[in-house]
Amino acid sequence: MKNLFFLVGLLWFTSVSAQFDNINAGEVLGYRIHYGFITAGNATLATTKTSYKGQPAFYVRGTGKTSGAAKAFFKVEDVYESYINENKEPLFYVRNVSEGSYTQHLQSTFNPANNTLVLVDKKHSDRPAKTVKVPNDVQDMMSCFYYLRSLPADNLKVGSVVRMNVWVDDELFPFQLKVVGTENLSTKFGKINCLKIIPSVISGRVFKQKEGVTMWVSNDQNRVPILIKAELAVGSLKASIDSYSNVKYPLGFKK
């Protein structure tokens, strides 16, 4: 489930809202998760205008859980949270997950002024907080999703490559994506034209190969993810859009 959110920086604030006018505070995106031919669960991404330690912030919450038969043999209940400032920089990031017998609860507090973060393991209170030096372009697993969506159109033309550093759990990883083309996808809402994007991911640990993930985002100002496919070390994962509300611009679904 965590890899879905990884494959998926923004603030909604009056004085700078023109920089982020393609995403509404209050937007909610829902996805159905398939493992092979099985409907394995669902995921939701929701945004809110809020504040963090006295400064305006954009709050993003991602949840994922298994359902139906999948829940019976492998229960997943994941929560991801990120507070992002007006410069599209993460301020506070939470990963609180329960996946079968595996659990983790990490909190990362970013300090953009000196390019550091403080990592706290809430599950193991005996472990001291750790200060980590990070690049000035660092994103967390949630903020990177909104940062990518808010890029200027010229940055997401076919043939473009976008690079960034992403804080994943307790490690920093270089990450890039390539816009390789456009395709018309069929969904439950109708057909929609999409940008086809291939992220480069870490092979060997979860995915079969370096470029084992493909995602399609709406080829419009919203840039809403419509479909994500991942070839895993065992089996394949697919996330398809199942619901949406409060998107900034009408999505161009055609029957």
User: Which pair of structure tokens corresponds to residue 160?
Assistant: 């473009």
How do strand 138-140 and strand 116-121 relate by DSSP bridges? Answer: unpaired
pLDDT at 6 over 80: no
Is pLDDT above 80 for 9? no
Torsions phi, psi for 136 (to 5 deg)? -75, -5
- Outline where DSSP puts E strands in 161-207: 161-168, 171-187, 190-200
The predicted pLDDT at position 87 comes to: 86
pLDDT(108) > 90 = yes
Mean pLDDT, the chain, whole residue set: 85
Where are the chain's structural domains? 2-245
Please, is 73 exposed, middle or buried when counting C-beta atoms within 10 Å of its C-beta (0-12, 13-18, 19+)?
Answer: exposed
What is the Cα 151 distance to its own chain's centre? 15
CA pair distance 84, 50, nearest whole angstrom? 10
Percentage of residues of the chain with pLDDT beyond 90: 60
Distance (Å, whole) CA 38 – CA 180: 29
Q: Is residue 204 over pLDDT 70?
A: no
Residues 6+ apart with CB under 8 A from 186: none
Name the pTM for this structure: 0.85
Burial class (CB in 10 A: 0-12, 13-18, 19+), 151: middle
Residue 115 Cα distances to 118, 183, 204, angstroms: 11, 39, 30
Burial tier of 20 (Cβ tally within 10 Å: 0-12, 13-18, 19+):
buried
pLDDT at 78 over 90: yes
Report residue 2 as tokens.
């965590």
Over residues 5-22, mean pLDDT: 38
Q: Which tokens sit at 150?
A: 């808010």
Is residue 242 predicted with pLDDT exceeding 60? yes
